Amino acid sequence: MNTESIEAVLKRFQLEGEVSGYRSYGSGHINSTFLVNCDTQNGRKRYILQCMNRDVFQNIDGLMHNIASVTEFLREKIIGAHGDPERETLTLVKSVDDENYVTDVEGNSWRVYLFVEDTISFDAVEKPEDFYQSGLAFGHFQRLLADYPAETLVETIPDFHNTPVRFQQLEEAVKGDKEGRLCEVKPELDFVMARKEQLGVAVDMLKAGKIPLRVTHNDTKLNNILMDKDTRKGICIIDLDTVMPGLSIHDFGDSIRFGANTAAEDEPDTSKASLSLPLFEAYVKGFLSGCEGSLTKEEVDMLPMGAKLMTMECGMRFLADYLNGDVYFKIHRDRQNLDRARTQFALAADMEKKWEQMCAIVNRYR
């Protein structure tokens, strides 16, 4: 992606005013994100430009169809509730050909969103209240999409949260050992193998009709929510690439594995990784309140397991990517994916120690 190609791409969108600059933005692991500044007659206007990762997303047209329809659906609901749709959901900016995205000469696909002003997104929780607000917003997001026609959504990444399939993908990475890194990861593989039987519990419950399939976000990391910079309330849920039919406990769990870990996701010193029970509690309280009683008894029972499964699954994905040569998640240094995998397994181990307390917290807020 050179300067010339980015500038050529920007010319293909219906932006207000003249582009005065742009820079790389955010800390996502998948897409390439840029903040774009425009000078207009009324002052400054900002946009988010994203190059979608075409290795990760094989069906960009389907993906953009999902985002356009989900944001339109949310927009109507927000207007109905007298909210501000340009602040409370993402707004796609059309191309000059009136399309939702453009493809450049190299085959990369790009989209533009309005930049949601006066918000912040966190890579780590600063205060339990912020995490409570994030749980509230993700629970509310799920509520808003409860009557979205799930059958119209394209499965952007098949088996995204099918944990046993993620285990198989790890096994394939082990067999392939493309970079000769297998010798470094024995303790991590032993950890996974010892828990192999548990990995299918949520998908088995779904198959048996014991928990429902819902429209879920599937990537509920703390930095996928924009909070108001003054009130610090959750304003806008972003990163909608993986909104698909899924499990509520996975949305819950993914937030916990990222936000309630006492260490950063890629912390090299795994002794720093553990589950913060106060943060777990703050999120449980927020999420259950945002869901407004819509979760079934079985789903609530399974929240701690959702947290553990998402932590194990993400650890397996990071580990498989390390063995495959870091081809999926962006890395900024050597062994970053291995460190990410290790923090996940350290966190899962700590959850096992705190299991009864996790269950007691969930019972307190159900």
* Contact set with ligand GN1 (CB under 6 A): 28-30, 56, 219, 221, 224, 239, 241-242, 254, 265, 314
List CB contacts of 57: < 8 A, sequence separation 6 or more: 63, 156, 157, 241
State the minimum distance, in angstroms, from the CB of residue 314 to ligand GN1.
Answer: 5
Long-range contacts of residues 351-357, Cβ cutoff 8 Å, at least 24 apart: 351/275, 351/304, 351/307, 351/308, 351/311, 352/308, 354/275, 354/277, 355/304, 357/277
Distance between CA atoms of residues 71 and 333, nearest Å: 35
- Residue 15 vs 202, nearer CB to ligand GN1: 202
State the minimum distance, in angstroms, from the CB of residue 100 to ligand ADP.
Answer: 14
- Residue 92 vs 288, nearer CB to ligand ADP: 92
Residue 307 binds to ligand ADP (criterion: CB under 6 A): no
Contacts (CB under 6 A) with ligand ADP, residues 198-257:
223-224, 226, 238-239, 241
Among ligand ADP, Mg ion, ligand GN1, none, the one that 78 touches (CB under a kind-dependent 5 to 8 A) is: none
Distance between CA atoms of residues 114 and 97, nearest Å: 18
DSSP-derived letter for residue 201 is: H
- Residue 242 vs 336, nearer CB to ligand GN1: 242
Chain residues binding Mg ion by CB under 5 A are 28, 224, 239
Residue 113 binds to ligand ADP (criterion: CB under 6 A): yes
How many residues of this chain interact with ligand ADP, rule: CB under 6 A?
A: 19
Distance between CA atoms of residues 198 and 333, nearest Å: 32
Contacts (CB under 6 A) with ligand ADP, residues 25-44:
25-26, 28-31, 33
Among Mg ion, ligand GN1, ligand ADP, none, the one that 226 touches (CB under a kind-dependent 5 to 8 A) is: ligand ADP
Phi, psi of 120 (to 5 degrees): -135, 150
Phi, psi of 9 (to 5 degrees): -65, -45
Among Mg ion, ligand GN1, ligand ADP, none, the one that 90 touches (CB under a kind-dependent 5 to 8 A) is: ligand ADP
- Burial pattern 181-193, b for ≥16 Cβ within 10 A else e, equals beeebeebbebbe
